[in-house]
Structure 1
Amino acid sequence: MYIVLAVFAVHWYLSLFCQTFFLHRYSAHKMFIMSKPWERFFYLLTYLSQGSSYLSPRAYAILHRMHHAFSDTERDPHSPHHTKNVFTMMWETKDIYNAVLNRKRVIEAQFERNYPEWNLIERLGDSWISRVVWGLLYIAFYLVAFFYLDMHWAFFFLIPIHLLMGPIHGAIVNWSGHKYGYQNFDNQDKSKNSLIFDFLMMGELFQNNHHKRPNSINFGSKWFEIDPTYPVIKLLNRLKIIEIRKKN
């Protein structure tokens, strides 16, 4: 049982780290720079950690920039205030994401620029073959755990979370971060800080702070607000793996 929980936790937090570090803070905001080899390393790590729910850095960056520009308006690609529930919000987001990914939507120049691209990983990650293979690997692991590691059958309910890890992370952040919590700043939108120590989403639930200071590498603002990704970024900067562009 503990092995299964450990594997789930590793998948959750490694995938989440790639989402907040590489897709969000690097691809969308360019809060720091890195060499091409390191960019390829984190690009590949994002694919490996997200697996069947791989999200394109280009499409993610464009949608996120649109989200900031049109936060909680009808043009926001994922606001909880213009949909009936979290499922309809994410379904509409999926449609916009696919249109952007497949270049079937006209994108304003302010959003369509300065993001990492690696066509090989893009084609691989978005292919149904890749998504199905990853899904089968997740299922195989749980079958092995069930028959050989005395895993309780209830743990099979974790498989859908593995399959949809990326969108689930997005759903939690976009729904909770714009509906529940408190506000440090009046950003002319509904953004909220949902936790004071964001152990669940590694800083992503400081949405109100982030919308006020979108280029700050520390999503916490008050002294008691802890962004777990911030010290990791500082360490990577000290190790010269990345170079922080905006000191704060």
Structure 2
Amino acid sequence: MAQDGSVFATHNADFVVESGADHRKKAISNPYIHRLQRRHFLLFDVLPFFGMAAAIAFLWVHPFGVVELLLLFGMWLLTGIGVTVGYHRLFTHRTFRAKPWVAAALAILGSMAGQGGMVSWVALHRRHHECSDREGDPHSPNLSGGGFTGRLRGLMHSHFLWMRRHEYPNIVHYAPDLLKNKPLIRVARLYYYWVVLGLVLPGVIGGLVFMSWQGAVSGLLWGGLARIFILEHIVWAINSFLHMFGTKAYESRENSRNGGVFALLTLGESWHNNHHAFPDSPSFGLDWYRLDPGYWVIRMLAVAGLATDLKLPTKDRRVAKRLDRRAASANAAA
């Protein structure tokens, strides 16, 4: 799937555009960018660890109940949809078109996930597809050497550690379409405010339901910080484990794999090999019986007239890339 947008909300991305950066460069690296990366890493990647621990510790003060479960699940689902349907399938790969207000809502929900500003996220993911599992891929698990130690080092890098410091993809090169979308950029500039809203909202709901500060803190912890922690690790596992383990149904130039058993948990993102084989498809499952909640949301938007131009791969395209077909042809030729 995707990754942590790591460096910038869009106002920081403007630094790259307006500071005279060489637009011919595909990636940029300097001390200013690395400071921003470390700050984002500590705030949105490390702090949720402590938030999850605090949520568990707070059970001694306020028990986990139906309200906490609903806040955790509801906020996880909404922000997860913001990432998979908005950040990934709409903004990065343009697999469908959405009404402007729908796109803005998806950008807000994706921002609440705390995985980076929309433009940065898109640029990083487009670079990932361009260089996947090769030099230049920001989070491949397959470039750290062989053997157990190399594979473990690669998994740790791709799952989490790469976000501390990395080359920043030039958004002028990788995301010019988004930079031209002024209404969407105005929404994206408020990235940090949307993250805070995603923390405050469940806290307010918890406080109002229980009419106590304990309810407010419990809502903040479970619907906010713990939710960010859980969603992050689901997303990061696609970067790491599904580029090393799983099944491969279609030919693709990188090591992407499918992990169908995790389809519901990842909202369809675990059909990762399918996605790399057909990145322009809004459906990652491709077949109706392969669970893909992200695509179900897109289909509902289409039925409501809020999404158009869904670009599903044709049967011929899919057959041409099937690995079992190629293997059968090779065996017949032999």
What TM-score range do you get, normalising by the shorter chain? Answer: 0.7 to 0.9
After superposition, the Cα gap between the structure-2 partners of 1:163 and 1:234, relative to the gap in structure 1 and judged at 3 Å, is closer
Residue in 2 aligned with 1:60?
121
Are the structure 2 counterparts of residues 142 and 210 from structure 1 closer, same or farther at C-alpha, using a change threshold of 3 Å?
same
**For 2:295, which of 227, 230, 235 is the aligned residue?**
230
Q: What code does the residue aligned with 1:71 have?
A: S
Unpaired runs of at least 5, structure 2: 1-64, 145-152, 314-334
1:176-208, Cα deviation, whole Å (9 max, x unpaired): 221221110231321110125611001111111
Q: Does residue 173 of structure 1 match 2:238?
A: yes
| Matching residue within 124, 128, 141 for 2:190 | 124
Q: CA separation in 2, counterparts of 1:232 and 1:131?
A: 22
Q: 1:91 aligns with which of 161, 168, 172?
A: 161
State the AA in 2 paired with 1:93: M
More helix by share: 2
Q: Which residue of 1 aligns with 2:44?
A: none
The one-letter amino acid of 2:163's match is T
Rounded Cα–Cα distance in structure 2 between residues aligned with 1:224 and 1:77 = 33
1:44 aligns with 2:108: yes
Judge which range, 112-121 or 134-143, deviates more. Answer: 134-143
Give SS of 1:81's match. Answer: coil
1:162 deviation in Å?
2.9
Q: Secondary structure at the match of 1:82?
A: coil
Of the candidates 133, 141, 144, which is equivalent to residue 72 of structure 1?
133
Q: Tell me, in whole angstroms, the C-alpha distance in 1 between the residues paired with 2:108 and 2:307.
A: 16
With normalisation by structure 2, the TM-score equals: 0.59
Alignment of 1:99-110 (within 5 A): 100=168, 106=170, 109=173
- Count of paired positions: 234
Mapped contact 1:80–1:175 kept (Cα < 8 A): yes
Q: Which letter does structure 1 place at the counterpart of 2:190?
A: L
Partner SS, residue 75 of structure 1: coil
Name the SS for the 2:243 alignment partner.
coil
Q: Distance in 2 between matches of 1:80 and 1:161?
A: 26
**1:26 deviation in Å?**
0.5
Q: CA deviation at 1:140?
A: 7.7
Residue of structure 1 equivalent to 2:13: none
**Structure 2 equivalent of residue 244 of structure 1:** 309
Query: What is the aligned partner in structure 2 of residue 82 from structure 1?
Result: 143
What is aligned with 2:175?
112
- Note closer, same or farther for the CA distance 1:213–1:207 as it changes in structure 2 (3 Å cut): same
Task: Give the % identical residues.
Answer: 23
- Asked if the contact 2:264–2:293 (Cα under 8 Å) also holds between the matched residues in 1, the reply is yes
Q: Which residue of 2 aligns with 1:21?
A: 85
| Residue deviations 1:32-85 (CA, integer Å, cap 9, x gap) | 1123233223223333x42xx153221111111111111111311121223515
Query: Which residue of the partner structure matches residue 66 of structure 2?
Result: 2
Shift of 1:242: 1.1
The alpha-carbon distance between structure 1 residues 66 and 33, as it changes in their structure 2 partners (threshold 3 A), is same
For residues 136 and 218 of structure 1, do their structure 2 counterparts lie closer, same or farther at Cα, with a shift above 3 Å needed? closer
Q: CA deviation at 1:235?
A: 1.7
Greater C-alpha radius of gyration:
2
Q: CA deviation at 1:131?
A: 5.1
Equivalent-residue separation in structure 2 for 1:231 and 1:132 (angstroms) = 28
Q: Whole-Å Cα distance in 2 between the matches of residues 13 and 220 of structure 1?
A: 18
Secondary structure of the residue aligned to 1:177 is helix
Which deviates more, 197-206 or 218-227?
218-227
Aligned letter for 1:246?
K
Alpha-carbon RMSD: 3.5
How far off is 1:148 after superposition?
8.2
Given that residues 203 and 223 in structure 2 are in contact (C-alpha distance below 8 angstroms), is that contact kept between their aligned partners in structure 1?
A: no
- Could you tell me which runs of 5 or more consecutive residues in structure 1 were left unpaired when the two chains were aligned: none
